[in-house]
Structure 1
Amino acid sequence: MRALARGALAAALAASLPVPAHAAALACRGTLYLTLDTGNMRHAEAIADILARHQVKATFFVAQEKTWRGDHALDPAWAGYWKARVAEGHAFGSHTWRHGAFRRDTPDGKVIYRLMDGRQLTLGADEVCAELRQPDTRFAELTGRRLDPLWRAPGGHSTPGTLKAAEACGYRHVRWAPAGFLGDELPSAAYPNAALLRRALATLRDGDILMAHLGIWSRQDPFAPMLDPLIAGLKEKGFCFATLPAPGRRER
């Protein structure tokens, strides 16, 4: 299944707004959807502060990733962080449990899944669903709230078989717009923060899905603090922010 299309996002959002559509149109020149993957969580608190200061709601995609503290993002020690984000009204989707890479489909209808340590597993459809459900189950244990029926494959890369299995158990895949790739994974020497900020402000358009992380291991000069001027600049251009509209959840 394809990632959510811009037009479908805009239509779903307009249908869910409690204010008349013409009033929303007057208030915003366009709507953007900021999404944040767990990553190593180093800047999780700082990003939460930025979102709160700008009164922006984001969609978080959560996985049991190793954090800069040496624990994992969905361990009980992070319950307070996630409960606070739930109370603020953000949206949440699955980013898989083990943050592996879906590499290819096999002739017998299974999927090759490469783990972070290099091991490769062969998953059937039920096992793909389990990989998406486990963050959902843990998040509910930590916060009392289920994830929305959305998911993002690590790296955004999936396979037809994986997408079909995920859809069958109630999760719709979400990628990001080309302009929405904010570049926080890129080497900072070649892609300095100022350049990434200028590019985003110049190229983002109505309906775009933006993607960044709550912390990245590889980037020397972290991009996360630049979310502050980025959001401010986009608001000055007339953009509003919203969480991703969630499709109806199937019985799973």
Structure 2
Amino acid sequence: MSLASPALAESVCRGTIYLTFDTGSQSQAELVEQTLRRHHAHATFFLANEKTVKGDYTLDPSWAPFWKALRADGNAFGSHTFDHVYALRDLPDGRIEVRPQFGPEAGRKQAWTPQQYCEELRRVDARFQELTGAPLDPLWRAPGGKLTPGVQAAAKACGYAHVAWAPAGFSGDELPSEKVSNAALLKRALNGLKDGDIFMAHLGIWSRKDPWAPAVLDPLLTGLEQKGFCFATLREHPAYREQFMRHAPSPERGKS
């Protein structure tokens, strides 16, 4: 929750906002971490192995301390597909046409079986366990939010629930800053977010010239707190509680 005392939070919280962040260029990663910690706010992070402004990739060993620190703070983590794979369409033979953004097949259309898509989601889980000693939560988010019935069925079959975002929860950090200012994005979020909404932003966007997080994140959390909102991970979201009960990791799987 966003307030340090659970008893106090219960008495003053008028609603809950579920903050989520997808990997990206990572240009704002440390700032996001610091801002969340300052507000005692928890969030859910969706991880793909994306190229960063440091010249490495988000799931390289160099990022292990960052993910470990976020985990220690009580945040949740889901899969965003390892190579940030866009789903394009379902094929007549039961396979799925996809296009990875990173990895050896970057930019090339592929025809995957449902099992191959499942394995792509699980690659993130395996790497996260290597880096942190803990498994992912049973959640995923499709790159670009692009879904097909085949992709949804494949992910569900291997134990992942998809997480989208509320209309008011679109941060707009992917929009061109010369057309949509940070001030406008902040105002829209503060005016539009309501109890139970899932909010989505990134840990850095390559194309936005005026970065979103430095100008928006801290005043957004402050403004939401002033309205009586608290923050929680998707582990506490009513729509995903049953998912966590069904797919709770064994004690052995989560050992560090």
Q: Do they fold alike, i.e. is TM over 0.5?
A: yes
Give the gaps of 5 or more residues in structure 2: 250-256
Q: Is this contact kept in 2: 1:169–1:250, CA < 8 A?
A: no
Identity of aligned residues (%): 58
User: For the structure 1 residues 61 and 143, does the alpha-carbon distance in structure 2 shift closer, same or farther, using more than 3 Å as the test?
Assistant: same
1:1-252 alignment runs, 5 A limit: 26-116=11-101, 117-225=106-214, 226-245=216-235, 246=240, 247=243, 248-249=246-247
> What CA distance in whole angstroms lies between the structure 2 residues aligned with 1:183 and 1:108?
37
Letter in 2 for 1:160: P
Q: Distance in 1 between matches of 2:129 and 2:148?
A: 27
Q: Give unpaired runs (5+ residues) of structure 1.
A: 1-12, 14-18
- Residues 81 and 250 of structure 1: is their aligned pair in 2 closer, same or farther, counting only changes over 3 Å? closer
Count of aligned positions:
232
Give the residue type in structure 2 aligned to 1:56. A
* Distance in 1, Cα, partners of 2:222 & 2:85: 34
Tell me the CA shift for residue 242 of structure 1: 0.4
Contact 1:170–1:250, Cα closer than 8 Å, also in 2: no
CA deviation string 1:16-74 (max 9, x = no partner): xxx79xx8663211111000001111110111000000000000000001111111000
Amino acid at match of 1:232: T
CA distance in 1, matches of 2:42, 2:36: 7
Q: Distance in 2 between matches of 1:76 and 1:100?
A: 21
Cα deviation, 1:78-137, whole Å, max 9, x if unaligned, reads: 111111111111000000000021011011111101122320011101101111000100
TM-score by length of 2: 0.87
Structure 1 outlier segments of 4+, above 4 Å = none
Helix, strand or coil at the partner of 2:31 = helix
**Hey, what's the Cα distance between the residues in 2 that align with 1:113 and 1:210?**
26
